[in-house]
Amino acid sequence: MSKTIKKIGVMTSGGDSPGMNAAIRSVVRACVYHDIECYGIYRGYEGMIEGDFILLNARSVKGIINKGGTILKSARSKEFRTHEGRKKAHEQLTKAGIDALVVIGGDGSFTGAMIFSDEFDYHVIGIPGTIDNDIFGTTHTLGFDTACNTVVDVIDKIRDTASSHNRLFFVEVMGRDAGHIALNVGVGAGAEEILIPEEDLGLDRLLESLRRSKQSGKSSSIVIVAEGDKIGKSVFELKDYVEAHMTEYEVRVSVLGHMQRGGSPSCFDRVLASRMGVKAVESLLEGKNKYMVGLIKDQMSLTPLEKAIKGQSKIDLELLRVSDILTI
Ligand code: F6P
């Protein structure tokens, strides 16, 4: 028997990503549409434990669909990893009369949501919000498309100076321990080589690839390095290694860092967020619990949270093959 839901809480948790505000907007307005009260929970689980809630209406979320970041802030909460912390959070939600939760975040946030749901028989639905695109159960997480567009634009700029000085650039991109950003921006920006944790290129093959590029007449090269790459050297150590073994190259390094997490969300991410927010609210109203909303074959779908957390988001082997062919 699903309980009557009259108030829904929405929060953002973990690393922020462009599109989170569009998702918040969609959750709030879907609640208003269904005559449900919607409460924003500030600073993720930390704010939940403190009862840091705000009633939101359709007008509260005006003008944010195009804003990066999250108006509800985000935080990582050590206390929520304890039963006592989760108990405090549950007491705060109960006191506020909030019946169910939409959690916008990554697998760490979903793990907390699932444990919380089990401990307190509390209904939660997850929306995958992270630039890493490393969550099973969706082809796209919120922010991935925007981050790729941001990075491709930056690499185009780096390409200008690399070609002006006949230099080799190592460009490190985010992705925690997944190579989705690196692979997509590497193909999109026409990089000469892409180092991702899912494929152990190895130093010898890297040098061979760079030599081949040079021999084919390329005067400059861009190598994209996923931050989680397992080649065993940091991008700075790679620079030193290549300069020591290939004196014909002048090498520079760019570590893009947190700028990949910012910026106005792309249309794709805004539309994805809008679809996911409505799906999340209506799934809760249908009595669903412990699912993640995802995009599969361009349809909104639900994946059990446990599978989303434990599943592996696989690298696109066809895209990897395209990359190998086009870097000839
Ligand atoms: O998970 C998103 C992400 O941006 C990863 O790509 C990156 O490794 C990590 O967060 C950085 O975490 P923090 O924001 O805590 O430095």
Asked whether residue 254 falls in the same domain as residue 269, the answer is: no
Domain boundary among 239, 261, 283: 261
Which domain CATH number covers 132?
Answer: 3.40.50.450
- Residue-wise pLDDT tens for the chain (328 aa)? 457 899 999 999 999 999 999 999 999 999 999 999 999 999 999 999 999 999 999 999 999 999 999 999 999 899 999 999 999 999 999 999 999 999 999 999 999 999 999 999 999 999 999 999 999 999 999 999 999 999 999 999 999 999 999 999 999 999 999 999 999 999 999 999 999 999 988 888 899 999 998 898 899 999 999 999 988 889 999 999 999 999 888 999 999 999 999 999 999 999 999 999 999 999 999 999 999 999 999 999 999 999 999 999 999 999 999 998 998 8
* Residue at 328 is within a domain: no
Q: Are 287 and 248 in contact (CB under 8 A)?
A: no
* Residue at 15 is within a domain: yes
Buried b (16+ CB within 10 A) or exposed e, 61-93: beebbebbbbbbbbebbeebeeeebbebbbebb
Asked whether residue 24 falls in the same domain as residue 124, the answer is: yes
Asked whether residue 163 falls in the same domain as residue 241, the answer is: yes
Asked whether residue 117 falls in the same domain as residue 201, the answer is: no
Asked whether residue 130 falls in the same domain as residue 273, the answer is: yes
Position in ligand 1 atom list of the atom nearest CA 227: 8
Asked whether residue 137 falls in the same domain as residue 160, the answer is: no
Asked whether residue 233 falls in the same domain as residue 287, the answer is: no
* Residue at 255 is within a domain: yes
Residue-range definition of the domain harbouring residue 219: 146-261
Position in ligand 1 atom list of the atom nearest CA 132: 6
How many structural domains compose the chain? Answer: 2
Amino acid at 310: K
135 Cβ below 6 A of ligand 1: no
Q: Where are the alpha helices (DSSP H) in 121-262?
A: 144-165, 180-188, 203-215, 235-245
Asked whether residue 107 falls in the same domain as residue 11, the answer is: yes
* Residue at 182 is within a domain: yes
How far, in Å, CA of 244 to CA of 262, rounded? Answer: 36
Which domain CATH number covers 224?
Answer: 3.40.50.460
Asked whether residue 28 falls in the same domain as residue 137, the answer is: yes
How far away, in angstroms, is 248 Cα from ligand 1 center? Answer: 35
How far, in Å, CA of 238 to CA of 188, rounded? Answer: 23
Domain boundary among 222, 243, 261: 261
Catalytic site includes residue 132: yes
Position in ligand 1 atom list of the atom nearest CA 174: 6
How far away, in angstroms, is 69 Cα from ligand 1 center? Answer: 13
Asked whether residue 109 falls in the same domain as residue 12, the answer is: yes
Asked whether residue 251 falls in the same domain as residue 279, the answer is: no
* Residue at 326 is within a domain: no
Q: Are 132 and 141 in contact (CB under 8 A)?
A: yes
Q: Give the predicted TM-score (pTM) of the model.
A: 0.96
* Residue at 85 is within a domain: yes
* Residue at 217 is within a domain: yes
Burial class (CB in 10 A: 0-12, 13-18, 19+), 271: middle
Asked whether residue 136 falls in the same domain as residue 29, the answer is: yes
256 Cβ below 6 A of ligand 1: no
Helix, strand and coil in the chain, % to nearest 5:
45, 20, 35
**16, 99, 107, 132: the active-site residue:** 132
